[in-house]
Amino acid sequence: MTIPRLAPAGRFNPACLFRPRSVALIGQECPDIRAHLALGDFQGTVEAVDRVTALTGVPDLAIIATTADDVIPTMEALADKGCFAAIVPGPMPASGQSLSEAARRTGVRVTGPNAFGLAVPGIGLNASLAHIAVPPGRLALVSQSVGLTRAIIDWAGPNGVGFSHVIGIGGNSDIGFGMALDWLASDTATGAILMEIHHLKDRRAFLSAARAAARFRPVLAVRTGGSHTGPNDPAALAFDAALRRAGVLSVGGLDDILAAVETLSRARPARSEHLAIIADDAGAGQIAADSAARHGLSAAPMQLADVAADKAVGGALWVLTPGTPFDTTACAAAVKAMPVPVLVCVMGQTTGGPLRRILAEAGLAVFASPEQAVLGFLHLVRDRRNRAAARELPGSAVLPMAPDQGAVRAAFATMEGTLVPAAQTSAVLAAYGIETLPGVVIEVTDDPEFGPVIALGPKRAMDLPPLNLTLAHALIADAGLPDDDALAERLVRVSQLIVDFPVIAGLTLGPTWKASLTLRPAGAPLGRLAIAPYPSELVEHRTARDEALIVRPIRPEDAAAHACFFKRLSPTDVRFRFFSAIHELSPERMARLTQVDYEREMAFIAIRAATNETVGVARIVGDTEGRSGEFAVIVQADMKGKGLASHLMHRLIDWARSRGMAEVVGQILADNAPMLAFIRHLGFTLRRLADEPEVMEARLDLLVSPAPPPAPSGRPEPG
């Protein structure tokens, strides 16, 4: 979160689920969880009872270990008790009662059904179906499969991998990947996140949360569900493309999962895609070089001492063969001192196995063969590419020319049926300047899970609209085609057409046949982009006391200007905004402030048109379901009293209404009198928090509250 989030009384708080201080086991149906809770060293309190009425206190988290028919009545009793976080490790009744409906009705948020449970080794909590103790560490696992979760835990300990969290969401009926990722994205104990995905409930919510988490730590995913027939199956390609745009590394198979976890949870990010090979034996080094070449990686032999100084090196592979004199302590120190990731391959088993265990316990990424280590570096390279793709923010309009949308609407207006005739198809393509190219096939299809996708070439490399030129060139490279500016521009034009006209269901541009264009049937839902574009339509120009300003959604490249803006704020304004005295924002926090996901959060900044200087910002962050949003607003001293804060807040409120939010809330220090007066003028109600008397909660009901008029210029406004 970008603003303080205190535990609200009488409603769900994510901390109660993911880091509880007290746990209650309700029922007798999960003896494994009961044993784990009884034998563990949980730092909080534990109660085990047969029914909710027998509880002596109000737990943060309840494990509903009842029969299937008693799950929903237990949720109702928990709500009456004041407990709003629960895990359902068993099945639901066959009567058709819905866990998600019960969660909405009672306010009790649950993971499940058939959930593995929760383990947080750092606080000694094991409320899970694990078959062995869960070792502590920095990997977070979010999984739907009980069996695969056990397999990963079983592998982890002997390989020196431990967990910050193991979160089993099971059937994903209520709480799913989105909320788990939101929590882990801000958890300082988590170094990397691994997801096992069987099915997604809400693709946009998932991609939004995944993109937010992947900004700050490696995120991996393996797909275990669906009807995929192989790596070239369109559904698998669309899944990989969606994850790539979210900055998530898609892995397949248990060996690939474990190799990726070994690398991304221990090694630094790759600096480039060039691999230095350090080997004490020429033959072993050649095996590594050959493996790198097979994966399309550039590699060259080097000495360890030269790696750090060579800026072209993205990472190093240190290959050690049996019998070589070797100091494990010195090796670990040398690897950790390097500015690039160093993957260590210790070959052999009789002597190599014990050495690998020692190095793994020292926190190094260690492999038994050069081929496995090269695959590890490939994971770092793919993670680097995905993070770069996730940073691209194509707008809703990216073409240098204005397409003739009227011509397209006219062509579609004369349509009967879904197949667009050749004449109208030609008119549509001409309106967007789209031409076919010799030897190239571009195809737009509709993936059932992620919506419109763009496929290119015989390899059917895929990406999701919206595309810009950078993403288009990357798609060409993925397709194995020579880089071509003309092809990249056509891909962007096709993407723009799909963004502008979601009624389009399919498009094929082939080199030897006429273009084919189909529309969705009348009354059918329109295509919904899985990735929200940068909302360039929200950019506006205005004046404040005759000074020209630009008010627009924030972008990642605003980070430097945002840091300067923060330094110009007074200590009092900083305390009112962040609830504490902060002298400097860390790079990670600055990234959180400037890299927002426009699907569920918004930050409007005001910029001086003459100097490009940021002078004010207002932001709102929606909850996982998009029902509520938390706001914050601040302007620098010389812009107060000019109506800027009022304008920014009205922009936020309008945006929240447009997203279907029911309320806007915020927390204000009780001694921030200007802000309290300002927020009352905007129509918010205020109440003092019982457990935080120095904090006032402001709330605006968007379903009943009309928008107040903007404050006139000259009215005192808050910082």
In this predicted model, what pLDDT tens digit does every residue of 678-713 receive, in sequence order? Answer: 999 999 999 987 777 788 999 999 987 555 555 444
Cα separations in angstroms, 496 against 391, 403, 434, 509: 19, 9, 11, 15
pLDDT, one tens digit per residue, over 37-70 is 988 789 899 999 999 999 999 999 999 999 999 9
User: Which of 185-189, 252-256, 291-295, 368-372 bottoms out in mean pLDDT, i.e. has the lowest?
Assistant: 252-256
Q: Can you give the pLDDT at residue 208?
A: 79
Question: 698: which residues sit within 8 A by CB, 6+ positions away?
Answer: 665, 666, 667, 668, 679, 684, 685, 686
| 129 contacts: CB under 8 Å, gap ≥ 6 | 30, 32, 33, 89, 116, 117, 146, 150, 168
Token couple for 227:
């009807």
Per-residue pLDDT, averaged over 490-500, amounts to 93
Q: Report which secondary-structure segment, H or E, holds 218.
A: none
User: Which pLDDT tens digit goes with each residue over 371-394?
Assistant: 999 999 999 999 999 988 887 877
Res 596: pLDDT = 80
Average pLDDT, the chain: 88
Q: Is the dihedral of CA 44, 46, 51, 56 positive or negative?
A: negative
Residue with tokens 């303080």: 4
Give the H/E segment covering residue 329.
Answer: helix 328-337
Instruction: Give me the pLDDT at residue 482, please.
Output: 92
Check residue 708 and give its pLDDT.
56
Sheet holding 274-279, edge to edge: 298-301, 274-279, 315-320, 342-346, 366-367
Range with the largest mean pLDDT of 203-207, 274-278, 302-306? 274-278
> Which residues, in sequence order, are bridge partners of residue 166?
119, 141
Instruction: Note the Cα 623 to chain centre separation in Å.
Output: 14
Structural domains for the chain: 14-264 (3.40.50.261), 274-391 (3.40.50.261), 405-519 (3.30.470.20), 539-701 (3.40.630.30)
626: left (phi over 0), alpha (psi -120 to 50) or beta: left
User: Do 565 and 617 touch, CB atoms closer than 8 A?
Assistant: yes
Q: Please give the average per-residue pLDDT across 528-547, as a whole number.
A: 87
Q: Could you tell me the two tokens for 316?
A: 């190093």
pLDDT band at 325 (very low <50, low <70, confident <90, very high): confident
How much of the chain exceeds pLDDT 90, in percent? 56
Q: Flag the least confident range among 132-136, 227-231, 502-506.
A: 227-231
pLDDT of residue 710: 55
Residue 8, pLDDT > 80, answer no
- Report how far Cα 342 is from the mean position of its chain's Cα atoms: 27
Per-residue confidence band for 398, with pLDDT thresholds at 50, 70 and 90:
low
Q: What one-character DSSP code corresponds to residue 397?
A: -
Q: What is the pLDDT of residue 5?
A: 41
Task: Please state, in angstroms and rounded to a whole number, the distance separating the CA atoms of residues 287 and 369.
Answer: 9
CB-CB neighbours of 95 under 10 Å: 8
Whether 7 has a pLDDT exceeding 90, the answer reads no
- pLDDT level of residue 559 (50, 70, 90 thresholds): confident
| Alpha carbon distance 583, 592 (integer Å) | 17
Distance CA 120, CA 116 (A): 13
Q: pLDDT of 262-286, one tens digit each?
A: 888 889 999 999 999 999 899 999 9
- With 0.95 as the threshold, say if the pTM is over it: no
Label residue 1 by pLDDT band (50, 70, 90). Answer: very low
Distances (CA, A) of 588 to 140, 305, 671, 713: 19, 31, 29, 36
Q: Specify burial of residue 232 (Cβ count, 10 A radius: 0-12, 13-18, 19+).
A: exposed
Can you give the pLDDT at residue 714? Answer: 45
Structure confidence at residue 413 (pLDDT)? 87
DSSP 144: S
* SS3 sequence of 467-533: CCHHHHHHHHHHCCCCCCHHHHHHHHHHHHHHHHCCCEEEEEECCCCCCEEEECCCCCCCCCCCCCC
Residue, of 430 and 573, whose pLDDT is higher:
430
